[in-house]
Amino acid sequence: MDCLHCSAPLKGRRSKKFCDDNCRSAWHYRQKSNDSTLVSQVNEQLLQNRRILSRLMACNQNMLVANKAILLDRGFHFQFHTESHIDDRGLTFHFCYEFGYAALDKDHIQLIRLPAAAENKNRTGMPTRSTAQKRTADFYENAILRGLTKIR
């Protein structure tokens, strides 16, 4: 049997996979970096989409109709989103974190912002639920008002 990293012949136990700690560490690092490259690229695009939506909507705005060309010019990629919901009109809203968007027609996109969620903290000061979990819970509690249902 040979080392998984450098292919050198192994000496010692039959179950040995690496010739030394350096090869073991290098092999695991390479495996992890290959797996996390795609995840990093997707996360970067999600964050870029969120930044674009955030800059389009003023701090006090919760809804806006924007031209699709503006989003595309700023580098927005419509295929990257964190979740999707359908409202009572049948519009599918795709979300990048707290910002949602739905195509109204070929050229116009409706943008919405979910209300900010305050984190619950227990007596130790540690959050009991993450902000994302709280936002999702608040979203579903108010779903009837907005007429949105989650796509499963």
* C-alpha span between 87 and 146 (Å, rounded): 7
pLDDT of residue 32: 78
Average pLDDT of the segment spanning 86-107 = 89
Average pLDDT of the segment spanning 37-62 = 86
* C-alpha span between 38 and 79 (Å, rounded): 15
pLDDT of residue 74: 93
**So where are the chain's domains?**
40-150
- Per-residue pLDDT band at 51 (split at 50, 70, 90): very high
Place of tokens 């409202």: 87
User: Picking from 1-5, 118-122, 127-131, 148-152, which range would have the lowest pLDDT averaged per residue?
Assistant: 118-122
pLDDT of residue 133: 55
Q: How many residues does the chain have?
A: 152
CB 138 within 8 A of CB 119: no
pTM: 0.58
Average pLDDT of the segment spanning 11-40 = 85
Q: Where is pLDDT greater, at 129 or 113?
A: 113
Q: Sheet containing 92-96: give its strands across.
A: 63-67, 108-113, 99-103, 92-96, 83-86, 149-150
pLDDT of residue 87: 82
